[in-house]
């Protein structure tokens, strides 16, 4: 991967719908050359997909929380991870080191819905402890920084 590939990745992170022609103008290559490079990045697994950004508040899920989760001793983490897919309010999960097992990002309509989610995590998914914080504001950072050398 060279400097131009990294530039293309940074540009695609900012706008995954940019055309090859638009990308080519910015990196000073032809659209065909850019298309070849992007296909190579996709085939090699560097680019794993494209996603839409959603306004969760517009979808009725404007209350977001970060929840640290500790599982009960007997709970298999792989089973827990699989079961998380059935909880639509959980929009991301990361396994962590330290005193908690996972950190979840949860999007709910209100506190009552969040309480229902916590109850479900404890009753059905083997969660022993939940420590949550309300997200007040998210700072938008340039994701393209991740590809800088």
Q: Residue range 10-39: average pLDDT? A: 95
Q: Give the domains, in start order, of the chain with CATH numbers.
A: 3-43 (1.10.10.10), 63-134 (3.30.70.920)
Tell me the per-residue pLDDT of 86-128, one tens digit each, with 9 for 90 and over.
999 999 999 999 999 999 999 999 999 999 999 999 999 999 9
Q: Give the HSE-up count for residue 24: Cα atoms under 13 Å, Cβ half-sphere.
A: 12
**Integer Cα distance of 135 and 143 in angstroms:** 20
DSSP for residue 145: G
Mean pLDDT of the chain: 94
**Residue whose structure tokens are 């059935």:** 86
**Integer Cα distance of 66 and 147 in angstroms:** 26
**Integer Cα distance of 139 and 27 in angstroms:** 28
CA angle 46, 82, 56 (to 5 degrees): 70
* This prediction's pTM: 0.80
Q: Which residue from 51, 49, 120, 56 is spatially nearest to 84, judged by alpha carbons? A: 120
pLDDT surpassing 90 at residue 53: no
């Amino acid at each position: 991967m060279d400097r131009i590939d990294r530039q293309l990745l940074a540009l695609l992170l900012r706008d995954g719908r940019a055309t090859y022609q638009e990308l080519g103008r910015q990196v000073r290559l032809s659209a065909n050359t850019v298309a070849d490079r992007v296909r190579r990045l996709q085939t090699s697994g560097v680019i794993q997909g494209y996603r839409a950004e959603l306004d969760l508040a517009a979808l009725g899920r404007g209350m977001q929380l970060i929840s640290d989760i500790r599982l009960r001793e007997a709970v298999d983490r792989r089973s827990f991870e699989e079961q998380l897919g059935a909880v639509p309010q959980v929009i991301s999960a990361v396994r962590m080191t330290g005193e908690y097992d996972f950190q979840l990002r949860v999007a709910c309509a209100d506190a009552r819905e969040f309480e229902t989610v916590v109850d479900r995590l404890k009753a059905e998914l083997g969660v022993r402890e939940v420590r949550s914080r309300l997200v007040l504001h998210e700072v938008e950072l340039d994701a393209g920084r991740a590809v800088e050398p």
